Structure 1
Amino acid sequence: MDGVRDWSMAVIGSLDELTGLLAGRRGLYVRWSMGPQLDLSREPSSRDALTGIELPGLSANPMDVEDWWGERPLRTWAARRLYDYSHLPRVKDTRVRPWLLVGTEAGRGPDNEPLVRDVVPLGWVDQKVITEAEEEIHQQQGVWGPLNRR
């Protein structure tokens, strides 16, 4: 990286806005970290928390809808993908925030998460979106069980 890059990013301000982004493309990922300025200041890599091994890309979670999701609402899919890791600021560091990116999958990490290179940051995911995602998940009924993310 050249050090002069402008790291200001758009802010995705609602779950509906995020859903609209997902509807229009594939290859989007969400990463929970302190942001691209830190993550991309050197060769992008994550570190396995258990072994300390440096991984060949940034750990990220895919936002692409899987075929098995069928005709279920895209909004609920987006909420579920954010909800999965919304506990990270509580357990890792309060400065950890989600941001959306595109990139090239370079492999899989120890939790089978994509490791992404050639990263292009798209925008921060506002805390309001996380709140909306949690509300969306809590409104689901039927076989949705509790996920302990505390």
Structure 2
Amino acid sequence: MTELPTIDRLGELTLLIEHGEKLYLRYSPGPLADAAHPSKDHESGLLMSGHSANPLWPPRWWTRPTEDWVARSVCQYLRELDEGARPWVLTGRVVDFGPDNEPLLADIEPVAWLSGELLTAARRHYREQLDAGQATHPG
């Protein structure tokens, strides 16, 4: 596998998506480590039928800027950085869905790593543009 490029700017990632790229985001040790086996459901211990990933493009109901959705998506799994995961962008074929209804992908094609600079920008954008952490059913 050749070395993956790195995307450094939130705007650069957003442009790829706005131009119709069906890109997914995955937090893991990376494509080489993932090639050994598909994702595992940690609660049941079962191997799933593909690698869990999250779509980076906004759903049809989203009327805010695409960059808001991308920042939100990048920030959803930042806790996994503490577990040794790295964020990377990929394409693939949806073969099933995981326990959180996330797509499970096969025929994965790695696209790029996301840099720390991009993660910092996504956090800032998420906090400034959205009600980050707002409860669905406030107390």
TM-score, length basis structure 2:
0.91
1:14-68 Cα offsets, whole Å, 9 max, x none, are: 101111111112421000000001112x3x5100011110000001011121110
C-alpha distance 99-145 of structure 1, shift in aligned 2 (>3 A): closer
Mapped partners of 1:118, 1:86: distance in 2: 25
Aligned residues: 135
Mapped partners of 2:113, 2:122: distance in 1: 15
Q: What are the ranges of 5 or more consecutive residues in structure 2 without an aligned counterpart?
A: none
Q: Does residue 11 of structure 1 match 2:6?
A: yes
C-alpha distance 9-145 of structure 1, shift in aligned 2 (>3 A): closer
Q: Does residue 79 of structure 1 match 2:71?
A: yes
Matches within 5 A, 1:33-112: 33-40=28-35, 42=36, 44-70=37-63, 72-90=64-82, 93=83, 95-112=84-101
1:47-99 Cα offsets, whole Å, 9 max, x none, are: 001111000000101112111002x1111111001011111112xx2x31100
For the 8 Å contact 2:57–2:66, the answer to whether it is kept is no
TM-score, length basis structure 1:
0.84
1:132 to 115, 121, 136: 121
